[in-house]
Amino acid sequence: MHFHFLDPYLPRDSAIHALDPRIKLMLAIGFILCVALMPSGAWMAYALAFALMLAVILFSDLGVIAVLKKSALALPFVLAALPLIFTAGGPALATIGGVAISASGVARFVSIAVKSWVSLQMAIVLASSTSFPDLLLAMRGLHFPRIFVSIFGLMWRYLFVLADEALRMMRARAARSGELERSGPARSSYGGSLAWRARVTGGMAGSLFLRAIERGDRIYLAMASRGYDGEIRAFPLPRIPPDQWLVFGMGLVALVLLLLVALLLSGV
């Protein structure tokens, strides 16, 4: 169950969920780095990385289809790499309307898309299997600046409050016909001109900001009156049990092997 629709965390009783967040964060970033380092066209290694990813998704009990669906949503960015298939040069694969499509360009484009897609799945599994307090703990454990971790933590607490506030404002605007109607007679159903709609939205952003700044003052006063002196106190980090270190070691070995396969097979 979500406690807020924005929260990506999905509680499950899985091995991935039970992994220490520090190890999970390090391995996830290691995996993404490893995929980024793979040369383009190393199809065998991509397949291995994808298989590893599938195994992680299966272990995490998040649902293969659900994760794959979610990862497809964020893919439109590949459009940025699409021109490569025309400009990369080399032997032509086909010619459409007098423009040559280069074979190496297609290979590079598909490589970028696949690498991006697999990395995205890892990021999704990380976010869905680790609650935010655990992520904060991982950041503390990996020695992110403490003050930064504190700001992150506070931001997270108020994210839902302010997101709900923004949604309420949007509902209020829709109720007062500031919304663009998509059906009905052309002019009459429009809530004002484009500039008017933008200005209304700006007004919402402005008052959201003013409310936030005042809320920030109130939060500070509430914290100060409960003994806050600028120092964020936290429980000491829990120790990582030896079997989790073992998982970490195995994960690292797997990543190194994956990278070796990628480099060896592409003949570098």
Partner 1 sequence: MLLKPVAMHIPDGFLSVPVAIFLWVVSIIFIAIALRRVNQTLGERQVPLMGVLAACIFAGQMLNFAVAGGTSGHLLGAALAVILLGPWASILVMTCVVGVQALLFQDGGLLALGGNIFNMAIVGTFVAYATYSLINKMAGGKKWGVFAGGAAAAWLSIFLTALAAAIELAASGTSPANVGVPAMGAVHALIGIGEALITVGALSVIYAARRDLLAPGESSSTTSSRTVLVGGLLMALALAVASPLASANPDGLEWVAEQQGFLDKAQPAPFQVISGYNFPGVGNVEVSTILAGIVGVLVVLFLVMAIAYSRRRKITNYELRITDKEATTRNS
Name residues contacting partner 1, limited to 195-234 (CB under 8 A): 195, 197-213, 215-217, 219-220, 223-224, 228-230, 232
> What residues does 99 pair with on adjacent strands?
96
User: Could you give the CA distance from residue 90 to residue 17 in angstroms, rounded to a whole number?
Assistant: 47
Per CB under 8 A, the list member of 51, 167, 237, 264 interacting with partner 1 is 167
Yes or no: say if 115 and 46 are a contact pair by the CB < 8 Å rule.
Answer: yes
Q: How far is the CB of 186 from partner 1 (least distance, A)?
A: 12
How far apart, in whole angstroms, are the C-alpha atoms of residue 34 and residue 46? 11
End-to-end Cα, the chain, rounded Å? 48
- 77 vs 54: CA distance, rounded Å: 23
Find the binder of partner 1 among 15, 33, 94, 172 (CB under 8 A): 33
Binders of partner 1 in range 236-265 (CB under 8 A)? none
Binder among 66, 166, 172, 250 for partner 1 (CB under 8 A): 166
Q: Which of 10, 135, 254, 255 binds partner 1 (CB under 8 A)?
A: 135
| 64 is a site residue for partner 1 (CB under 8 A) | no
State the minimum distance, in angstroms, from the CB of residue 56 to partner 1: 15
Give the span between the Cα atoms of 7 and 134, in whole angstroms. 13
Helix axes 21-37, 132-141, angle to 10 degrees: 80
- Rounded least distance, CB 9 to partner 1, Å: 8
For residues 1 and 12, what is the distance between their CA atoms, to the nearest angstrom?
10
- Rounded-to-integer distance, Cα 83 and Cα 171, Å: 40
Tell me: does residue 172 bind partner 1 (CB under 8 A): no
Q: Containing H/E element for 200?
A: helix 194-225
Q: 112 to 131, contacts with partner 1 by CB under 8 A?
A: 112-113, 115-120, 123-124, 126-127
Task: For partner 1, give the closer residue by CB, 82 or 250.
Answer: 82
Q: What string marks each residue from 75 to 114 as x (binds partner 1 by CB under 8 A) or -?
A: -xx--xx-xx--xxxx-------------x---x---xx-
CA distance 152 to 193: 38
Please say whether the beta carbons of 241 and 35 come within 8 A. no
Q: How far is the CB of 166 from partner 1 (least distance, A)?
A: 4
Question: Minimum distance between the CB of residue 112 and partner 1, rounded to whole angstroms?
Answer: 6
Point out which span in 13-21, 56-64, 177-185, 241-249 binds partner 1 (CB under 8 A).
177-185
- Chain centroid to Cα 224, Å, comes to 34
Q: Decide if residue 32 touches partner 1 (CB under 8 A).
A: yes
Of the candidates 155, 246, 256, 260, which one interacts with partner 1 according to CB under 8 A?
Answer: 155
